[in-house]
Amino acid sequence: MKVTIITIGGKFEADWNTAIVIPAFEKDFPIQSELLSEELDMLVQSIIDREAFSGKEEEVFFIPTHGTQYAGIILLGMGEKGKIYEEKTRRAGGIVANCARANKISRLVFDWSNLNLFYIPSVVEGLILSLFSFDKYKGDSNKGDKVNITGATFLTRPDENIERVIKVINDTVSVCNSVNMCRTLVSSPANELTPESLAEFARTMCDKVELKCKIVTKEEMEEEGLNAILAVGKGSSREPYLILVEYRHPDYEGELVAFVGKGVTFDTGGICLKPRDDMHEMKYDMAGAGVVLGVLYALGELKPKTRVIGVIPAVENAPGNNALLPGDVIRTYSGKTVEVLNTDAEGRLILADAISFAYKKYSPNTIIDIATLTGGCITALGHFAGGIMGNDKQLVESLIQSGEKTGERLWELPLWSDYEKLVKSEVADIANIGPKGEASTIVGGIFLKSFIEGNTKWAHIDIAGTAWGVRHIPYWNEKYPTGFGVRLLTNWLISKSQS
């Protein structure tokens, strides 16, 4: 999608596939717009007079026009005047995109002359994210007649910050493309996106944006002693891999950040088999891995001054004849032993080895893991926030702040020492689950915390409720994964590099 900014009086292209977008605050009438002729202005006012449009937040009204250079006018409700912020404008972008596609509009011209220039990037964000679809496996006759928005023009008043905003818009487009890349990965069926093909995807991606990539094979993991990853993967005929992706700006010698993403390409639950209802959604259990790849891809495009290592344990959890059994004890890469009481709590096992590997091989200052770890996170927070825990208050708060900025909200859960008693084992150093129905999301965090060594700062983000199935947010279609975390972690890294 091509995005342009022009000042009042500037020329722009418009045709029968173009709609004017006029933002309006609640009951702030009459509407003033540089793009409306006297005749169109009267048409808009008649709609308002009939109280068909009031300007309430997330309200939208499409007015077809005849005999003009436009196909129509989209009235966009912005809610109470004076209460405007990034998430509101991001959702407004999604609302406009959905309205435009429903009315076969492919080009948009926004009258932004009465609004702050710096909110344009978040509108663009909402537009791009809302346009995501996944129809790779559909025949042409089943894809439908969807219209894509190919261009968005913003009419503004002269401002010395226009060039600066254009740079932010270009970066926003790159990040949103990375999000949608992640969403495509997460949408892919498990017979196509296996641990091996995920590793190959990572290698190809790294070649494209000049990142370093190393793939650790099953044989190499056996030599290293990555026994937890191997144990989870041994029930499947598809071999596990450990994917390592590195970004390093040539002029940066500062702190190293490790992102660890859960890459279970399909989770049957193993021997502790999941119920059949909605099991097809377990192809999404590699969403954390998708987020890490999305962030690294964005870094390769934006090239901020930072250093990052992405660590992705990629496995398939299946109940084969050699599968991990309840009661098994694993000696993890760290040397700590784990009693496996539930083979469906496999994500924390592979993350434990990946975290220890990152610490031993790369000595990062900060480790952040992201995973669809616990259904309990959905019970606690629903689909509107991810859970976050960590051992460093400043780190956790900075991630929460980035989430507020990107609309990917996080809610901190405690890691009090009392919870450590819940994962005590009679036969090993630690058990992989706690008592049934008791603080399951926190127990997952407590388990991972036990594998953090030295003075490493660490945070754990549980995206079980936000990786897919999110409703009522206009730029996220509930049919598709969200890519939750890509924008958040990219924002956090860039903010960190600029501070």
> Tens digits of per-residue pLDDT, 50-88?
999 999 999 999 999 988 889 999 999 999 998 999 999
Q: Which helix (H) or strand (E) holds 20?
A: strand 18-24
Q: Is 193 helix (H, G, I), strand (E, B) or coil?
A: coil
Split at pLDDT 50, 70, 90, the class of 490 is very high
- How far apart, in whole angstroms, are the C-alpha atoms of residue 39 and residue 284? 51
Residue with tokens 């009951």: 27
For residue 144, pLDDT over 80 is answered with no
For residue 436, pLDDT over 80 is answered with yes
Split at pLDDT 50, 70, 90, the class of 137 is very high
Q: Would you state the pLDDT for residue 34?
A: 87
Averaged pLDDT, 18-35:
93
Q: Would you state the pLDDT for residue 355?
A: 98
Structure token digits, residue 266: 């399909």
Q: Would you state the pLDDT for residue 27?
A: 87
- How far apart, in whole angstroms, are the C-alpha atoms of residue 289 and residue 25? 41
For residue 145, pLDDT over 80 is answered with no
pLDDT one-digit tens code per residue, 295-318: 999 999 999 999 999 999 999 999
- How far apart, in whole angstroms, are the C-alpha atoms of residue 213 and residue 246? 6
- How far apart, in whole angstroms, are the C-alpha atoms of residue 261 and residue 157? 44
Of the candidates 317, 147, 321, the residue with the CA atom closest to the CA atom of residue 233: 317
Split at pLDDT 50, 70, 90, the class of 179 is very high
- How far apart, in whole angstroms, are the C-alpha atoms of residue 328 and residue 325? 6
Split at pLDDT 50, 70, 90, the class of 13 is confident
Query: Is residue 359 a contact partner of residue 456, using CB atoms and an 8 Å limit?
Result: yes
CB neighbourhood size of 358 (10 A): 22
Q: Would you state the pLDDT for residue 96?
A: 98
DSSP type of residue 318: -
For residue 334, pLDDT over 80 is answered with yes
Residue with tokens 């592979």: 350
- How far apart, in whole angstroms, are the C-alpha atoms of residue 173 and residue 434? 43
Catalytic entry in 203, 274, 336, 409 = 274
Average pLDDT, the chain: 96
Split at pLDDT 50, 70, 90, the class of 426 is very high
Averaged pLDDT, 200-225:
98
Share of the chain above pLDDT 90, in %: 94
Q: Would you state the pLDDT for residue 146?
A: 77
For residue 48, pLDDT over 90 is answered with yes
Averaged pLDDT, 375-384:
97
Query: Is residue 419 a contact partner of residue 439, using CB atoms and an 8 Å limit?
Result: yes
CB neighbourhood size of 217 (10 A): 14
348 is catalytic: yes
pLDDT one-digit tens code per residue, 180-206: 999 999 999 999 999 999 999 999 999
Averaged pLDDT, 237-262:
97
Is the overall model pTM greater than 0.95, yes or no? yes
For residue 251, pLDDT over 90 is answered with yes
Catalytic entry in 348, 457, 487, 496 = 348
274 is catalytic: yes
- How far apart, in whole angstroms, are the C-alpha atoms of residue 393 and residue 413? 12
